[in-house]
Structure 1
Amino acid sequence: MELRFLGGAREVGRSAVLVDDTLLLDYGMASTNPPSYPVGSPDPEAVVVSHGHLDHVGALPALLSGRARPPVHWTPPTREFALTLARDTLKLHGGTPHCPFTETDVARLTQVSETHGYGESFEAAGYEITLYNAGHIPGSAHVLVDDGDARLLYTGDFHVGNPERPRAPAPENGQRLVAPSTERPDADVVICESTYADVTHADRAETEERFARALRETVVGGGTVVVPAFAIGRTQEVLLACAANDVECYVDGMGKRVTRMLNSHPEFVRDADALQRATSRARFVTGRDGQRKRIAAQNTVVVTTSGMLSGGPAMTYVPEIRGHPTNLVAFVGYQVEGTPGRELLETGSAELDGRVMPVAARTDLFEFSAHADRPGLESFLADYEDARVLCNHGDRCAWFAGELREAGYDASAPELGETVTV
């Protein structure tokens, strides 16, 4: 196999790997300003998508802007997430040079979609493909590619929970929304994400307890909490945590639509009844007649997009609460370098809705990560000691590959645009 890394190589964002110029694994965009997309101009025979986050599906409709109509294979939730994100991208960037696709291309995406369940093998571009639960978000998948001679495992983004407590319930072992990945299909080559290769996550139960305590203390102290959260996965995880800890909250932005949609796919979540109860407890914001400003003036909790403060209703809430240290901006996810969220955490000010604003409100980061950390990666890769490992999707891929080589692995970190023969 020849693997060409069109994105996500030694970086987080715009993941895309082309196999033998025929099979494309993911096709995402990076949430930079302006957005960035994979390099090259692939013309695949088929596409397989690991999961429905922007950095893995954001550029997908652009593949259909010409005459090509490659089938796109994914799980049902990933299809719904991808279409939701594509329509949101059109709202933000449609008709500008920063958006490489149109509404027509998004409509075409629905026509070439082919959905599959976990463990269901199918043919794509002459390969046998099987999707396995990756434990990252609902519908996320490891992608196994078999050409008859070699077996390639593309991990996508994944989460393995707590390797030391594999049978414990959430949050002692992983997320409340999805169960951790336990799948380890045989493979000769592994393309492994390394987002948190240099991090050991704090105990998940302790993180959730600290989060709930910070929310309660802020509200009791007369403050308002804004929780910027990714619409897909993280919003629902936060709603489950709030419900489990008896914290009342509002939910706003794209996360409302995603939450309702996930209640229609109970087989892809860890506890469908718990998600339904958490959905019923949350108060969904309509956004009409100044409602957001009125909510921001209350002593309450608002879970809202965008998770990195790059748009969405957060552009109303954060400016409204920024002026007083009794308020709190509680981040619950990774903040990519160059985003307003990262800027706010590091400097105390950020460009919000086109204006640079100092923020007197407190900020804090609670790592509700849906990625494997260093122990999780080591636990996963322990089953692939004889495989070739290609590290991608991380800020320190080359360093992590070096660490793996010292441990006896055949490991490397391809560069952007590089072709690797395996």
Structure 2
Amino acid sequence: MPINAQLTFIGGAGQVTGSCYLVELNNKKVLLDCGMVQGSDQIREWHKFRFQFKPKDIDAVILSHAHIDHSGLLPLLVAKGFHGKIYCTKGTAELLPVLLKDSVHLYLKDLEWKNRRAARAGKKELPAVMQLSDAERVIELCEPLPYNKRTVPMPGMELEFNDAGHILGSAIVQLWLKGKQGMRHLVFSGDLGNPATVLMNDPAEIAHADLVLMESTYGDRNHQDVEHTVAEFAAALEDAYQAGGNVYIPAFALGRSQEILYYLGVLYHQGKLKQKVVFLDSPMAISITEIYDRFFHSMDPDDTRLLKQQNVRDLASFLPILKLSETVEDSMAINRFKQGAIIIAGSGMCNGGRIVHHFKHNLWKNSNHLIFVGFQAQGTLGRRLVDGEQRIKLFGQDIVVKAKVHTIGGFSAHAGQSELLQWAGAIGGQPQFWLVHGEPKAQQALQQAMQQQGMAVEIAEQGQQISL
């Protein structure tokens, strides 16, 4: 029997970033995620952005995990009038203050710089659309919940988080929507983890569902196995060492940086790491690594066993040549190292952060090497470099790209096609699948593969509304 509920695909449909879905049930409105679209000019994106609903009318937000493309619009949502609860896992609640405050701080800093240029040119300055206080208010509204425990966020709705195995605190969202005439079981995969990813547990299996929103980032391909990936990573590092330059690794502060530190530690203890120093050039990544250390007890025991064998219980101690670059002065001082250094810095898709400053000083030197270890979305500088662009513009300057570019896909924290098919195939009942969070090519390939296994699959379109 039908219930009085509907779902609208607000964002994360036909693209990888900007995850946001509106569930309407019995005159209540709930958002699944509230993420930013990443790429291009973020100031312009913030200021032209308009919610497709009134934020004050949203009763609650259910957050799958802390990545900015899933959580980054929450400060703006609050600034525009939202005052309901934000349901998330305990790990996500720990990470959100670091990510959201940093995101808003960078926005305000970039806005100040842009307004200074506008003032000099006699142009109108832009007012800020949000403040740090809005990010702080988001934290106050968070309602942290444990995995595998049902709760009732509002009448007619039950909620349970299960481990998605993607990053610390990442969750598969299960919703049971009840009306006078029936019930529907909705599952939102969030971002499903790659079982080969270190530190994280494997994604939880879901027993039953009526409707599934499933991510499809790597729906058209599988990742190579982790042994080959680490061997490829080690070969790229050796290549860079022999070339006599430095290695620059753009990495997200959350998840990827910790994974790279782990594998650098493994190579160090195996005697395979020739470089003499590793810089973690990101205050945010440093803070997040400390949070990961606090959740050490809940991580994959097979991966943490190696750290225990070295008599350490944190990632920093696992890599003795690691140096933490917290201040801008620390970051600038890295330029004194002309060879034998590995620099890990954000942002992961090279849209900003300290990595672009390193690019300005180092991309034009053919002795340097650039290693991409994560997905690069369309429209980002990282994607342009991966695609082989020979000249880029940074800070108003033309930069020729002579550094050698390596792309290593096996480190992905997203499930590949075979893992997505396995996860979907384990769900009981006869669920209707809707593919989200992926580019069209990947979604079409995954849809075809799922249909060949007898699954009912549609590709979500932005703005599309379906009845539950």
**TM, length-normalised to structure 2:** 0.82
* Structure with more helix by fraction: 2
* CA shift in 2, pair 1:217/1:403, >3 Å: closer
Q: Aligned partner of 2:246: which letter?
A: T
Aligned to 2:18: 14
Q: Aligned partner of 2:137: which letter?
A: R
d(CA) in 2 for partners of 1:99, 1:228: 29
Q: 2:422 aligns with which of 379, 385, 409?
A: 379
Aligned to 1:92: 106
Aligned to 1:159: 193
d(CA) in 2 for partners of 1:189, 1:26: 17
Judge conservation of contact 1:15–1:38 (CA < 8 Å) in 2.
no
Aligned to 2:116: none
Stretches of structure 1 lacking an aligned partner (at least 5 in a row) = 162-173
Aligned to 1:298: 339
- Once the two structures are superposed, residues 225-280 of structure 1 have per-residue CA deviations (whole angstroms, 9 ceiling, x without a partner) of 00110110000000000001113521111211211222122244325573844312
d(CA) in 1 for partners of 2:462, 2:163: 27
* CA shift in 2, pair 1:190/1:420, >3 Å: same
d(CA) in 1 for partners of 2:104, 2:343: 25
* CA shift in 2, pair 1:38/1:301, >3 Å: farther
Aligned to 2:323: 283
Matched, 1:344 2:385: yes
Aligned to 2:258: 236
d(CA) in 2 for partners of 1:276, 1:369: 24
Give the structure with higher Rg (CA).
Answer: 2
Matched, 1:269 2:299: yes
Q: 2:358 aligns with which of 313, 317, 323?
A: 317
Matched, 1:181 2:181: no
d(CA) in 2 for partners of 1:16, 1:185: 25
d(CA) in 1 for partners of 2:314, 2:240: 24
Matched, 1:111 2:140: yes
Aligned to 1:60: 74
* CA shift in 2, pair 1:204/1:103, >3 Å: same
d(CA) in 1 for partners of 2:419, 2:81: 42
Paired residue secondary structure (1:288): helix
Alignment of 1:77-156 (within 5 A): 77-94=91-108, 96=111, 100-126=129-155, 127-148=157-178, 149-156=183-190
Q: CA deviation at 1:202?
A: 1.2
Aligned to 1:416: 462
Q: Aligned partner of 2:10: which letter?
A: L
Aligned to 2:432: 388
Q: CA deviation at 1:292?
A: 2.4
Instruction: Tell me how large the CA RMSD over aligned residues is.
Output: 2.2
Q: 1:195 aligns with which of 217, 220, 230?
A: 217
* CA shift in 2, pair 1:384/1:6, >3 Å: same
Q: CA deviation at 1:83?
A: 2.2
Matched, 1:47 2:69: no
Q: CA deviation at 1:400?
A: 3.2
Identical columns (%): 28
The answer to which of 220-229 and 236-245 deviates more is 220-229
Q: Aligned partner of 2:19: which letter?
A: S
Paired residue secondary structure (2:426): helix
d(CA) in 2 for partners of 1:353, 1:99: 22
Q: Aligned partner of 2:408: which letter?
A: F
Aligned to 1:259: 289
d(CA) in 1 for partners of 2:82, 2:364: 52
* CA shift in 2, pair 1:212/1:65, >3 Å: same
Judge conservation of contact 1:23–1:125 (CA < 8 Å) in 2.
no
Judge conservation of contact 1:414–1:420 (CA < 8 Å) in 2.
no
Judge conservation of contact 1:10–1:398 (CA < 8 Å) in 2.
no
Q: 1:27 aligns with which of 24, 34, 39?
A: 34
d(CA) in 2 for partners of 1:179, 1:249: 27
d(CA) in 1 for partners of 2:414, 2:137: 31
Judge conservation of contact 1:10–1:395 (CA < 8 Å) in 2.
yes
Aligned to 2:453: 407
d(CA) in 2 for partners of 1:4, 1:133: 25
d(CA) in 1 for partners of 2:7, 2:444: 17
Judge conservation of contact 1:160–1:380 (CA < 8 Å) in 2.
no
How many residues in Structure 1 have an aligned counterpart in Structure 2? 409
Aligned to 1:166: none
